[in-house]
Amino acid sequence: MTRYAGLSSDGHRGARHADRFHTDRCVAELRRAGVDGVVATSVENVVYLTGYDHWPLHTFREHGVYAVVTASGERGLVAPRNAGEYLVTDWPADCTLVTYGDFFVSVAPGGTMAPLDQQWASLRESTPHHRTAAEALTALTNELGLGPHATVALDDQALSTAGREGLRERFRRAEGVDANMLLRRVRRVKTPHEVALLREVANRTEKAMNGVFSRVREGISETEMFDLYRRLALEEGLNPGHCEVNTGLRASGCFPPDSTSLVGFGDTVRIDCGAQLEGYHSDTGRNATLGTMSARLSIAEDAIRAGIQAMFDMAGPGVPVAELARTAIDSVRKAGLPEYERHHVGHGIGLEMYEYPVLSPRTDPSVVLVEGEVLNFELPFYEMGTGGLQIEDTVLVTSSGVEVLTTNSRSAFRAGAQGHAAAEGVSREA
């Protein structure tokens, strides 16, 4: 069995992924669960464990792609041969590769291959190759010491029923071990490089959102604002994600953008938006008022700002998630919205927009915040007949509390104003 060290576009061997994978945490979780290894199929877990993030992984879901990690820290990947170009250009040196399936490439008679072609040819010749994904997985797990008698945790959420049954027949499955949750716990604590990526994607998303707010005027439609956000996110080098943009009374819900819903004077626009950078997500939200904010929304804004501040003040390692959520909701109620209800007040964020844990009053009391995780705190306000507001921030849990990674003021923008310097100056109805 060979290991192939591909060169990334910047010349470093698997450097980008090496900065993202918490090997020690993964090994500790596997040993704590009493298993010899884990086989992962979920897209986010495959990406996290191996760095393999070629587009067919997302497109051809019926193709078997497996990441394998052992309790001793060894790891490997089973991927179709058509992943060759990606594996040549960016592949971690400490990950064993096995390929399968057909992908045909010819060589020009008498031609001279470019260095990249030579690398690809070498990869095809030196990498163990099998007819099917199942055969390749058997070969890889045997090579890594996970034979028929090994106890393996199976993250099988991405498989069909037939595929799931096939895996269970092949391995001695670890009973009572939720492999997907095990890996979510591993991914929960971020490496410094992951934190830097999450900070960067959050800040670029804010710039795109702020650009929309600066262009809000009477007569602009929700659809125009939605399209503008996507264009500005692309200009920031992001892959645009969700963008809920509603104005006036429609801001009471997360309605699809409407070309006939136009901003009028006195309206408040609510935006909840996100994007991706190198696979890592953002999710943030703010508001803008054109003219004077209504008295009811003014009360609601003050209340949810108080709730967010209460979360900042309370959060830190060891704080029970459920208590944090209840404190946030109670703070909103005490600050002016006594009837306020919310099913959750935030969530983890990373390779998935919603990661473990979800911050809910109903979360198991044993789940506490941990140092190094990145979370979103959010306390939206939706009220039919009034409209709505969104305040959502991204934070890093530190040894002493939280560091807020997002930078916008939590007061509403003055719609049409350039930048955010005017955010605190929004006029309010007496």
**Which residue type, as a one-letter code, is found at position 100?**
Y
* Same domain, yes or no: 153 and 293: no
- pLDDT for residue 39 is more than 50: yes
Residue predicted with more confidence, 243 or 424: 243
Domain end position, chosen among 187, 218, 241: 187
Residue 286's DSSP bridge partners are: 271
- 319-366 pLDDT, tens digit each: 999 999 999 999 999 999 999 999 999 999 999 999 999 999 999 999
* Same domain, yes or no: 218 and 177: no
Q: Is residue 418, in this structure, part of any structural domain at all? A: yes
Q: How many domains does the chain have?
A: 2
Mean pLDDT, the chain, integer:
89
- pLDDT for residue 428 is more than 60: no
Residue 293's DSSP bridge partners are: 428
* Same domain, yes or no: 308 and 355: yes
Q: Is residue 382, in this structure, part of any structural domain at all? A: yes
Domain end position, chosen among 136, 159, 187: 187
Q: Is residue 342, in this structure, part of any structural domain at all? A: yes
Domain end position, chosen among 156, 187, 218: 187
Q: For the stretch 189-214, what's the b/e string if a residue is b when 16 or more beta carbons lie within 10 angstroms of its beta carbon? A: bbeebbbebbbbbbbbbbbbbbbbbb
CATH code for the domain of 307: 3.90.230.10
- pLDDT for residue 370 is more than 70: yes
Q: Is residue 10, in this structure, part of any structural domain at all? A: no
Q: Is residue 3, in this structure, part of any structural domain at all? A: no
| Mean pLDDT calculated for residue range 264-268 | 96
Give Cα 13 to chain centroid, integer Å. Answer: 24
CATH code for the domain of 162: 3.40.350.10
* Same domain, yes or no: 159 and 26: yes
* Same domain, yes or no: 166 and 248: no
- pLDDT for residue 276 is more than 70: yes
Q: Is residue 203, in this structure, part of any structural domain at all? A: yes
* Same domain, yes or no: 206 and 96: no
According to the model, what pLDDT value does residue 13 have?
A: 35
pLDDT-derived band at 87 (thresholds 50, 70, 90) equals confident
* Same domain, yes or no: 179 and 203: no
- Provide CB contacts within 8 A for 345, sequence distance 6+: 307, 311, 324, 325, 328, 329, 359, 360, 377, 378, 379
* Same domain, yes or no: 105 and 196: no
* Same domain, yes or no: 181 and 226: no
According to the model, what pLDDT value does residue 12 have?
A: 34
Q: Is residue 262, in this structure, part of any structural domain at all? A: yes
* Same domain, yes or no: 135 and 217: no
Q: Is residue 101, in this structure, part of any structural domain at all? A: yes
* Same domain, yes or no: 177 and 222: no
Residue 33: name the closest of 152, 177, 236 by CA.
177
- Provide CB contacts within 8 A for 87, sequence distance 6+: 4, 6, 52, 54, 79, 97, 123
- 193-210 pLDDT, tens digit each: 999 999 999 999 999 999
Domain that holds residue 257: 192-428
* Same domain, yes or no: 143 and 226: no
Q: How far apart are CA 296 and CA 299, in angstroms?
A: 5
